[in-house]
Structure 1
Amino acid sequence: RHLLDDPQAVEAAIWFHDAIYDSRAKDNEAKSAELAEKKLAGRASPHRIARIAAMINATATHQLPPLRDEGALNDAALLLDMDLAILGAEPAVFDAYEKAVRLEYGWVEEPMWRAGRSAVLKSFLARPHIFYTTEFRLRFEAKA
């Protein structure tokens, strides 16, 4: 929490980022962001709600959103790193996670699953760093 500019906004983004989830859908993050905007209207400032929605939407691609505020950008980086922290988990923990994800996508035939999952994981390896923040790089990058 001490690394965050707006811990409450990040917490809201965490709670809402998979509020709507269907493994067959391509718009889960957008729908989750819309739900957050709807539920938080009148409870947070429009600026904060936009920040939360931007963080939620960023989890679709794991690319930093176009935020101009340095604090908001740092918060988004930390949220994305939290979302990918499993990549740096102990092998048994990661394997259990992968098995659970495979169950979620049980409707996908094995060759398509392998190709798709491989593409996702390779996309992270193709980046200069898997994690955006120094804190997560130091803790998880080597294992990931």
Structure 2
Amino acid sequence: RGLLGDPEAIEAAIWFHDAIYDSKAKDNEAQSAALAEKKLAGRANPSRLNRISAMIVATATHQVPPFEDAAATRDASLFLDMDLSILGAAPDAFDAYERAVRREYHWVEEPMWRAGRSAVLKTFLARPHIFHTEEFRQRFEPQARENMTRSLQALQTSL
């Protein structure tokens, strides 16, 4: 919390970022951002509300929104890193997360699941850095790479 320029905006983004979630939908982030805008209208000034909304939408790609304000950029970087921190969790926690994600997508046939999840993991592994901030890189990056590499290998192993 001490690292954040606007802790209340980050807290709102955390609460709303998956408020609307359907594993079959492609617009969960946009719908969650719209809900945040609706529920927070009149409670947050328009500039803060725009930042909250942009951070929520950014969870679709985990790319930092192009804010002009350095503090907002830093907050968004930390928010996105928090969202991805499970990737750098201890192996047993990460494996439980991977199983939970698979249950969310139970409706996807196994070959399609393996291809789609592999593509997601490869995209993250191809980045120069998974995490945007130095704090999260130091704390989570090596374990995240190990976890995702292990998961990718399991997905590519035939049944």
In which range does the TM-score fall when normalised by the shorter chain? over 0.9
Q: How many Å apart are 1:82 and its aligned residue?
A: 0.5
Q: TM-score, normalised by structure 1?
A: 0.99
User: What amino acid maps onto 1:41 in structure 2?
Assistant: A
1:6 corresponding residue in structure 2: 6
1:78 corresponding residue in structure 2: 78
Task: State the Cα deviation string for residues 18-69 of structure 1 (Å, max 9, x = none).
Answer: 0000000000000000000000000010000000000000000111111111
Distance (Å, rounded) in 2 between the aligned partners of 1:68 and 1:128: 23
Distance (Å, rounded) in 2 between the aligned partners of 1:114 and 1:82: 25
| Alignment map for 1:1-144 (pairs within 5 Å) | 1-144=1-144
Alignment coverage as a number of residue pairs: 144
| 4+ long deviations beyond 6 Å | none
User: What amino acid maps onto 1:90 in structure 2?
Assistant: A
| Root-mean-square deviation over aligned CA pairs | 0.5
Q: Percent identity?
A: 76
Q: How many Å apart are 1:105 and its aligned residue?
A: 0.2
Q: Runs of 5+ in structure 2 lacking a partner?
A: 145-159
Q: How many Å apart are 1:130 and its aligned residue?
A: 0.5
Distance (Å, rounded) in 2 between the aligned partners of 1:77 and 1:115: 28
Q: How many Å apart are 1:106 and its aligned residue?
A: 0.2
Q: TM-score, normalised by structure 2?
A: 0.90
